[in-house]
Amino acid sequence: MTNVTPRSDIVLDVQDAVKHYALRRRGLRAPRRSVHAVDGVSIRLHSGQTLGIVGESGCGKSTFGRLITGLETPTSGTIRVGAHGVPIAAAHGTGTVQAVFQDPASALDPRMTVRESIAEALGKVAGRERERRVDEALAAVGLTPEFGVRYPHELSGGQQQRVCIARAIVDRPDLILLDEAVSSLDASLQAQILHLLERLQQDTGTAYVFISHDLRAVRQVSHSVAVMYLGQVVEQAPAEAFDRGLLHPYAVALRSTEPRILDEGTEHVERIVLTGEPPSAVSPPAGCRFAPRCPIAEDHCRSVAPDLVEATSGHLVRCHKPGELTLSGVARADAEV
């Protein structure tokens, strides 16, 4: 999406964000080391759009989420949010960015009523206006006003998540981070909540960053999708490209493991099972970070780290051999290795 001429409706502009966490020393003479949770991510997002971020647990997608909400400060790089492009450090806590987290039970204070929790986002609004806005938000997420006086433990998981969404939208933010927001819900509730989120976006034009390990959910709601691996974006493409052709071997593998319903597609898809664990984010490999697990890696891949380059318009990939591993061509690739 970077080829689109920058417009004023950009609500998230991340330039080369890096986040390292220092580790405790293991021994007296051991060197100080750090976890490279996010390692040079650049992303732009327009209002009314949804950016999906997928990857295995530990790939840095949640840390990235905490960076763009200002809950963590990046080690380096710049993050600007909102229509005026305010640096996140200044925008943090102004209600420009809101978030919905994975576990709704932990995202609601057990000692606050639903109304109190939602009203927490309305610091600058008082009195009757505040009550009206809370009622509006409750209605928008499909809860009746009588839920307002309840405590979180009196609600079901889906209702709790609706309250979290109500709190996120009530102050009309420019951007909402959805960090695994539907992952803890069962399938039918997931569909309901995803539908609710889509409807809210159409009504308000809020941009979403939708983080999930579940490629299907991400695809369903996103306009563009970024695949993360070990702190880096390895492929970023418009959502449609995910159906037509993915270029990075990791993204292809991720896609192939997606559970499918029989009549969804006619083509036969081999599952590409990746061997081994992702390498440690403490000492990333020298060359391509995916090379140790890549079915088509060559010596070149192991020594030289590829850059994120534009393969086709709006489709970015970080690979020396983009597109060589395809869903139908797995058998051929395997034979070559």
User: Considering the rule CB under 8 A, would residue 249 count as an interface residue with other proteins?
Assistant: no
Closest to 305 in 3D by CA, of 285, 280, 275: 285
Name the one range near other proteins by CB under 8 A: 98-106, 218-226, 290-298, 303-311: 98-106
Beta bridge partners of residue 54, listed in sequence order:
212, 227
The total of other beta-carbon atoms located within 10 Å of residue 83's CB is 12
Structure token digits, residue 48: 């009314």
92 binds other proteins (CB under 8 A): yes
Among 167, 223, 248, 318, binds other proteins (CB under 8 A): 167
Backbone angles phi, psi at 104, to 5 degrees: -65, -30
Determine, following the binding rule CB under 8 A, whether residue 145 of this chain makes contact with other proteins.
Answer: no
Sign of the torsion angle spanned by Cα atoms 51, 56, 62, 64? negative
84-118 burial string, b = 16+ CB within 10 Å, else e? eebebeebbeebbbbbbbbebeebbeeeebbbebb
Q: Is 95 in the site for other proteins (CB under 8 A)?
A: yes
Minimum CB separation of residue 222 from other proteins in Å reads: 22
| Residue number with CB closer to other proteins (167 or 315) | 167
Residue 69 binds other proteins, judged by CB under 8 A: yes
Do residues 316 and 308 make contact, with C-beta atoms less than 8 angstroms apart? yes
CA–CA distances in Å: residue 101 to residues 39, 223, 269: 23, 21, 33
* Residue 103 near other proteins by CB under 8 A: yes
Task: Please pick, from the candidates 2, 25, 34, 240, the single residue that binds other proteins as defined by CB under 8 A.
Answer: 25
Q: Is 131 in the site for other proteins (CB under 8 A)?
A: no
The number of residues that bind other proteins (CB under 8 A) is: 40
Our finding on whether 106 is near other proteins (CB under 8 A) is: yes
117 binds other proteins (CB under 8 A): yes
Q: Tell me the residue length of the chain.
A: 337
169 contacts other proteins (rule: CB under 8 A) = no
Q: Does 73 interact with other proteins (rule: CB under 8 A)?
A: no
Beta strands in the chain, from DSSP E residues, in sequence order: 10-22, 34-46, 50-54, 76-81, 86-87, 97-100, 175-179, 207-212, 224-229, 232-238, 309-312, 315-317
Tokens for 163, please give them: 């309250």
By CB under 8 A, tell whether 11 contacts other proteins.
no
Site membership for other proteins, residue 82 (CB under 8 A): no
Strands 86-87 and 76-81, bridge-based pairing: antiparallel
Cβ nearer to other proteins, comparing 147 with 242 = 147
Among 99, 169, 181, 207, which residue sits at the site for other proteins (rule: CB under 8 A)?
Answer: 99
Binding segment for other proteins among 3-11, 37-45, 49-57, 156-164 (CB under 8 A)?
A: 156-164
Residues at the contact surface with other proteins, assessed by CB under 8 A: 25-28, 69-71, 92-95, 97-99, 101-103, 106-113, 117, 120-121, 123, 142, 151, 153-156, 158-159, 164, 167, 171
